[in-house]
Structure 1
C-alpha cells in the first residue's frame, strides 16, 4: 500500500535539495545526501496503517518536544525513533510547508559541512 500523491510530494521536496539521491532502504523510499540518510517515506510500514515521512531532529530533546506539542503530526517512528528521528503524518491534507521545511532541516542535519558552507539549500 503506497500513498503515491504523498510519496510524490515527499520525493519532490527531498530531491530538490543539493546532492540528494533516492534509494530503497529496508523496502522504503529513502533519501540520502553524501550517503547519509535524511528522510524515509513509509506507507503502512509493517502493517501500522500510517503514511509518514521520517526525518532527523537535533536529538531526543527536540524529538520529545515535537511529539508532545503535536502528536497528531509527529510520532516516534519504529527503528529510527531511538536515535531522535520523528515521523510526520502525511496522510490526508498535511501542512506541506511544514513537511517540506522539516525535510530540509533534516537534510541540513545530515549534509556534509562543505555543502552547508557553500550555502546549503
Structure 2
C-alpha cells in the first residue's frame, strides 16, 4: 500500500531490559505503557510519551530514547558518545538515546527517565511525586 512505512517491532533476546524499564517507568505517577510503531513506549495518561525502548537500527542493540531538557542532548552525547547518541526522528526535538548494552546502570536509567517524565507530567503529578 502506498504511504505505509515498515517499523521494527521490539523483539530483544533479553526481555529483562523491558521488565527493568517497565519497573522504572510504571513506578512514576500517571504513567501508562503503550505500543508506538511496535516499540514499548511510556507516557503520561492522555499526554505525550517521555521514553521508549528501541533496538538500535544499525546493529539491533537495546536502547532507550528519552525526552531531555534543552542542552542535555549535546552535553550527554559529547561527554559519552559510546553510550549516548542522537536518535533518528526524535533527535531533532532534543531526545537522547542511551545504549543499554554498555555499562547498564539502572539507577542512571531511573534518573534520566524521571527527568524525562518531569518534562511531560502535569504540575499535579509532579507535586504528587515530590509529595
TM above 0.5, yes or no, is: yes
Is the Cα contact below 8 Å between 1:56 and 1:106 reproduced in 2?
A: yes
Is the Cα contact below 8 Å between 2:83 and 2:102 reproduced in 1?
A: no
**2:55 matched residue in structure 1:** 43
**2:116 matched residue in structure 1:** 106
The unaligned stretches of length 5 or more in structure 2 are 1-10
- Which 4+ runs in 1 deviate beyond 6 A? none
Of 85, 91, 94, 1:81 maps to 91
TM-score by length of 2: 0.82
TM-score by length of 1: 0.88
For the aligned residues, what is the CA RMSD? 1.7
Instruction: Report the secondary structure of 2:77's partner residue.
Output: helix
The unaligned stretches of length 5 or more in structure 1 are none
**1:43-66 per-position Cα deviation (integer Å, ceiling 9, x unaligned):** 244x5422111111102x210111
Larger Rg: 2
Change (3 A) 1:119 1:93: closer
Residue 120 of structure 1 and its aligned partner are, at CA, apart by 4.3
